[in-house]
Amino acid sequence: MFNIKNIFIKLGQLDRRLIYLLVSLSVLIPLLNPNLLQLPTKTTKNTQIVFDSLNDLKENDKVLLSFEYGASTKPEIHPMSIAILNHLFSKGIKVYIVSLWPEGVMMAADAINEIVDSNLFKVEYGIDYINLGYKQGGPVVIRGIATNIGSVFTQDVHLTLLDEIPMMNNIKDVRDFDFVFDLSAGFPGNAEWVQYACDEYKIPLSSGCTSIMVTDAIPYVESGQLKGIIAGMPGAAEYENLVYDYLNNLEYNKFMNKNVDIKPGKATSRMSAQSITHLLMVLFIIFGNISYYLTRKKNN
Amino acid sequence: MILKRKLTKYVFLPTFIIGIYLYNPFDIFLIGNEMSFVFIILICFVIEYFIEKSKNGEEIYMRPIAAIKAMEEAVGRATEMGKPVLYIPGIASLDEIDTISGLIILGHVSSMTAEYESDLHVPVAVPIVMETAKETCKESYLKQGRPDLFREDMVHYITDDQFAYAAGVNGIMLREKPAAVFFQGKFYAESLILAETGNSIGAIQIAGTGSSSQIPFFVTACDYTLIGEEFYAASAYLSGSPEMLGSIKGQDYVKVFCIVMILVVFINSILFNFSLMNFNITDFFRINLIK
Amino acid sequence: MNFSIEMIGVWFAVLLTLSIFSYLYGDNPFYKSAEHIFVGVSAGYIFAITFWDTIWPNLFGRLFPSYVQAGFKFDIIYIIPLLLGIFMLLRLSKKYSWLSRISIAYIVGMAAGLKFYVFLNSNLIIQIKSSMLDFNTDIIGIINQIIILIGVISGLVYFFFSKEHKGTIGKISKVGIYFLMIKFGASFGFAVMGRVSLLIGRFEELIKYSSKEYSYSTPIILISMVIILTIWSVKETKNDKLKQINKR
Amino acid sequence: MKRQLAYFVVIFIGFLALAGHFINYPPLNNFIDNDATQWFDIISGFAAFLGVINLLQLHTNKLVYKRKNWEYSILTIVSFMLMIVFGFFYIGMEGIPRGAHLKVEGTAFYWMFDNIYLPLGSSMFALLAFFVASASYRAFKIRNFEATLLLISGVLLMIGRVPIGHIIPWWMSVEIYICIIFALTANKFSNRKNMISSFILCLVIIPLIIYFLNITHWNLFKIPEVQEWIFDVPATAGSRAIMIGIALGTIAQSFRIITGREKSILGD
């Protein structure tokens, strides 16, 4: 009996590096052979709200898509942006892309290229989507877009003046958009969009963000300032499945090219690694507590 | 007599200003955010009232906050062990109130390090914050009568990027092994990297931030944490001046007012639903400007 | 091995990724060099982005619109930020460094004014407004909203500074800290989720770069780093012992 | 006199920024909405120059005086200079206007960004997964009731939010709840003997009772549903309390700044 207790105490004081090794293995093994563990993803309430509010938009509605994430948070947010762009283009919605993070422009370019290469949709730059590029200033830019977009953006990412682009002529400020969707990973993020633009001008806003920001944004979701929220990679996997099913049982409409197969998203394949690592973390907590309890028992 | 003067100053004046605002002569005020205006006037006068009350000598009770008391002890420990004190004022610029609070607390901590003659090290991530931090430290060392101890390279700029800054500060922690580490300011994802490294070198860590998503990491990885509002109150606690303490008491009464408003809105919504009251108070809670 | 710029880039990316991960083993030369390169590259990157995205279009774009063609019209008032910026640079001169305080004063004053208004609106008024009870949910929904109300009020009571936390206030603030702790637990759980996703993304890239197309860059670099690190740590422990011997 | 001027500027600008939202004077509203905060960026842009000088000063001193680890300072200076050259002088591709070349694939600046800056940034971020593991292993201890609440909501959220959470059957979640309750009340029992016996008793009896009452389909026994409730109700209440608290703290601090009472910032 005595050595079992010792084993548990030892289990509670593992060296830091052993923990790091266990974590890397628990991520590496499922990634090397993905079909190790096939798990169903159930859609949570908030992801469904986002899907429904975007689904209610009609053809030629105008959506402002704001990219505020970089390469370091790409694994969580990028699958969301691709799923959202697929969803919007399949409904013939005009997409206006801005980015408030320097790396956001490249993330937007990656997402657009991936969709254009899949030639699932007949979309053209300047007609169906436009990329206004990056402007530094965070809340300054959001405030500028809210009050008068000309004060902040005068050229698109290819430096052509906005007045020459037909898509932009009846856009003066945020009230000319039907929906604002913010892909955020920090500051400026969904909180700044709520505070500086959409609250005051009553524009429907929703957001997909990294998991860490979700608990901060929840009061906004609960009070309706944010129409649902896509939370981290699990949220991205859920949204991907929603869009995948939506596209599959949607008879090909005029926005989509025929005979192009729809590929499942990236986030779903990473969920097995995510699940196993979460289990490992829970085991760490349990062992840490057992040994803490036993050592405290031994001392007093 | 004093009651009459106080009454006029803190009751008639605010109601008079709100009256003019609502009457809106010559249309000089914007329409649509009346609620914000009323809140601002109310908050300002409540805080002003308590500042004045505490200025003419009324004793203010302040509940003890463990993290603030631990600051002096941490600097003392660092001096005993002859190791530096590392102060990190967050990674946001001066346009964040957290950074300003962090710099004010830096003023107090640097006066402690001047008094204890311990070595202070302040790596910053934003050039403007570097300038202001240098200014604040120089003042504290001056006030403690130890301008000779102040070295220009105590406060130095590492880089603006969030994770390059975290990597740089990690390097400083591993190589200089400070005994006391302060995290006071606006933090984002890099807070856990810094707190875990600080923990691995066995330093006393005192954190304070308004970024509520990082508080769990500081709570788990640091010895003491100032949670949200405690962080903003810390600068007033440390200064101890009657004006500052008065403003904290005023802030408390504004909190009571918010709680009352929450209850009023809650009860009103119940009565309104069962049509025992005919108007819904939340219609006033509009903040969108009709331009 | 096709020797193109792009291939060098991949090898650089893998080398730097692995040297950052070598920090998990402990402070070592690989991590130190990666850290110092990162500090230098990011300082230069931010400086260039700041100049080309803020000062050049927003300031010079408005003062010399014909030369810069950033689409802004001439605006004389932008002389003031130019002056405040130069005041900032005057910090380098001992005599005029006090002028920089005016620029700092502008920023601090502006931040205080704007944040006052923005936090008051979205984080205070709207949150008070959303504590109303809406009845178009089932009984459980109403109970939940009552629990939220209790949680918010007790959470706020926890933050009372000028009252002794004894008696009823003590009990309410105890309940308040429970709600705060559940929120922190939820944030921590979400953080674990988010961080693991990013690690997965990083490992996925390393696996991608270990394929033939990238000429097995990850395994080669990984093995060579492990060898160098073991040699280095053996040498390190040896001259630590030497130091101890000649210290005694 | 010099300090009074700085205070006057803080008070005047602070009051102006606040009043700009209420006074119906379009040039002022326009200034507050657009220009005021753009000026902030321009000033901090100039200050970036000071930061860079300080960085170079620090590393050249380290180099010149051969302080500890001076060899690495060479790397910092070289990589910084490289970025400045690629950022301002050498573009590496024809026909790209200077200034827009920073974000165009194929330029030297973009190569440095894509192959050096990005991998370093995302690897540092990925380090967090390891630190979260060691933090949860070391810090998540059932020290007191609050720490246990933090642990329970964290664990339930971690399990409930991932696909594995959906597979956990109802009886296993009952077992988990029993373990948590006993972890909380462990120190309340007089001696260990009957604590362990009652623990095992519960583990066996309670699932049977639930089975006979056939309430096994209740949401209470589905971890993802429980996690969603924790997330929607108590966590929201906690977040809103903190948000209002922080808003009040920010407002009080801004008030102290605008009325010129925060002295130490401007070096009084």
Query: Same domain, yes or no, for B235 and B262?
Result: no
B103 touches chain C (CB under 8 A): no
B32 φ/ψ sector (left φ>0, alpha ψ -120 to 50, else beta): left
What angle is formed at CA C80 by the lines to CA D250 and CA B139, rounded to 5 degrees?
A: 50
Beta bridge partners of B122: B155
Look at the block and give the residue holding tokens 């009652």: D198
Chains touching D (at least 3 CB pairs under 8 A) are: A, B, C
Per-residue confidence (pLDDT) for residue C1, from 0 to 100 = 47
The Cα–Cα gap between B256 and C153 comes to 10
CA distance B97 to chain D (A): 6
CA distance B9 to chain A (A): 33
- B291 in a domain, yes or no? no
Q: 3-class DSSP state for residue B205?
A: strand
The Cα–Cα gap between A107 and B39 comes to 42
Closest alpha carbon within chain D to A214: D231
Regions of chain B with pLDDT less than 70: 1, 286-291
Per-residue confidence (pLDDT) for residue B288, from 0 to 100 = 59
Smallest Cβ–Cβ distance between A195 and the set C122, C191, C200 belongs to: C122
Per-window interface: A 73-132 vs D, CB < 8 A: 73-74, 102-103, 105-106
Give the tokens for residue A93. 């919605």
Mutation target among B213, B219, B285, B288 for the A interface, most CBs of A within 10 A: B213
Query: Same domain, yes or no, for B124 and B12?
Result: no
The Cα–Cα gap between A116 and A128 comes to 12
Task: Spell out which residues of chain B touch residue A202, defining contact as CB-CB under 8 Å.
Answer: 288
Mean residue pLDDT of chain D comes to: 83
Per-window interface: D 172-211 vs A, CB < 8 A: 183, 186
The Cα–Cα gap between B234 and D249 comes to 10
What angle is formed at CA D69 by the lines to CA D68 and CA D73, rounded to 5 degrees?
A: 125
Q: 3-class DSSP state for residue B250?
A: helix
- B98 in a domain, yes or no? yes
Work out the pLDDT band at A50, boundaries 50, 70, 90: very high
Smallest Cβ–Cβ distance between B213 and the set A72, A200, A213 belongs to: A213
B271 touches chain C (CB under 8 A): no
Q: What is the pTM of this model?
A: 0.85
Work out the pLDDT band at A252, boundaries 50, 70, 90: low
Per-residue confidence (pLDDT) for residue B287, from 0 to 100 = 64
CA distance D52 to chain B (A): 8
Per-residue confidence (pLDDT) for residue A8, from 0 to 100 = 76
- B222 in a domain, yes or no? yes
A133 touches chain D (CB under 8 A): yes
Whether residues A232 and C193 touch (CB distance < 8 A) is answered with yes
Written out in words, the top-level CATH class of the domain with range A45-264 is: alpha beta
Whether residues D268 and B232 touch (CB distance < 8 A) is answered with no
Smallest Cβ–Cβ distance between A106 and the set D33, D103, D167 belongs to: D103
Per-window interface: D 169-228 vs C, CB < 8 A: none
CA distance C134 to chain D (A): 15
CA distance B123 to chain D (A): 11
CA distance D28 to chain C (A): 13
Q: Is D248 exposed, middle or buried (0-12, 13-18, 19+ CB in 10 A)?
A: buried
Per-residue confidence (pLDDT) for residue D76, from 0 to 100 = 92
Mutation target among D7, D38, D43 for the C interface, most CBs of C within 10 A: D43
Q: How far is CA C225 from the centre of its chain?
A: 29
Whether residues B29 and D132 touch (CB distance < 8 A) is answered with no
Q: In total, how many domains does chain B have?
A: 2
Interface size between B and C, measured as CB pairs under 8 A: 163
Per-residue pLDDT for D237 more than 80? yes
Whether residues C129 and A195 touch (CB distance < 8 A) is answered with no
Least Cα distance to A136 among C189, C238, C52, D54 occurs for: C52
Smallest Cβ–Cβ distance between B215 and the set C133, C149, C184 belongs to: C184
The Cα–Cα gap between C100 and C85 comes to 8
HSE (side-chain half, CA atoms, 13 Å) at B129? 32
The single-letter DSSP state of residue B226 is E
Least Cα distance to A44 among D162, D214, C175, D203 occurs for: D162
Task: Spell out which residues of chain C touch residue A44, defining contact as CB-CB under 8 Å.
Answer: none
CA distance C108 to chain D (A): 7
CA distance A195 to chain B (A): 11
D115 touches chain A (CB under 8 A): no
Interface size between A and D, measured as CB pairs under 8 A: 144
Helix axes D234-258, B229-239, angle to 10 degrees: 40
- List, as one string, the DSSP characters of A64-101: EEEEE--GGGHHHHHHHHHHHHHHHHHTT-EEEEEESS
pLDDT along chain C (248 residues), means of 10: 73 90 86 92 89 83 79 81 89 83 88 88 84 80 90 92 85 91 88 86 85 80 86 84 77
- B140 in a domain, yes or no? yes
CATH number at residue B99: 3.40.50
Query: Same domain, yes or no, for B208 and B70?
Result: yes
Per-residue confidence (pLDDT) for residue B243, from 0 to 100 = 85
ipTM value of the model?
Answer: 0.84
Segment A77-93, tens digit of pLDDT: 998 999 999 999 888 88
Work out the pLDDT band at D267, boundaries 50, 70, 90: low
CA distance B255 to chain C (A): 7
Whether residues C197 and A223 touch (CB distance < 8 A) is answered with no
Query: Same domain, yes or no, for B85 and B116?
Result: yes
Per-residue pLDDT for A35 more than 50? yes
Would you list the domain boundaries of chain A? 2-32+270-299, 45-264
Q: Are strands A179-184 and A205-209 parallel, antiparallel or unpaired?
A: parallel
Whether residues D236 and C148 touch (CB distance < 8 A) is answered with yes
Terminal-residue alpha carbon distance, chain D: 12
Smallest Cβ–Cβ distance between D41 and the set A136, A231, A271 belongs to: A136
Task: Spell out which residues of chain B touch residue A194, defining contact as CB-CB under 8 Å.
Answer: none
- B161 in a domain, yes or no? yes
- B41 in a domain, yes or no? yes
Q: How far is CA B152 from the centre of its chain?
A: 26
Give the domain range for residue B256. Answer: 2-60+244-285
CA distance A169 to chain D (A): 21
Whether residues C152 and D237 touch (CB distance < 8 A) is answered with yes
Interface size between C and D, measured as CB pairs under 8 A: 392
Whether residues A233 and C193 touch (CB distance < 8 A) is answered with yes
The single-letter DSSP state of residue A161 is B
Per-residue confidence (pLDDT) for residue C224, from 0 to 100 = 87
Task: Spell out which residues of chain A touch residue D189, defining contact as CB-CB under 8 Å.
Answer: none
Segment D43-65, tens digit of pLDDT: 888 888 888 888 898 899 888 98
Chains touching C (at least 3 CB pairs under 8 A) are: A, B, D
Segment C180-210, tens digit of pLDDT: 999 998 888 888 888 888 888 888 888 888 8
Give the tokens for residue A88. 């919007």
Closest alpha carbon within chain D to A19: D134
Query: Same domain, yes or no, for B235 and B249?
Result: no
Chains touching B (at least 3 CB pairs under 8 A) are: A, C, D
Whether residues C34 and D45 touch (CB distance < 8 A) is answered with no
Whether residues D114 and C193 touch (CB distance < 8 A) is answered with no
Task: Spell out which residues of chain A touch residue B36, defining contact as CB-CB under 8 Å.
Answer: none
Whether residues C161 and B252 touch (CB distance < 8 A) is answered with yes
Q: Is C199 exposed, middle or buried (0-12, 13-18, 19+ CB in 10 A)?
A: buried
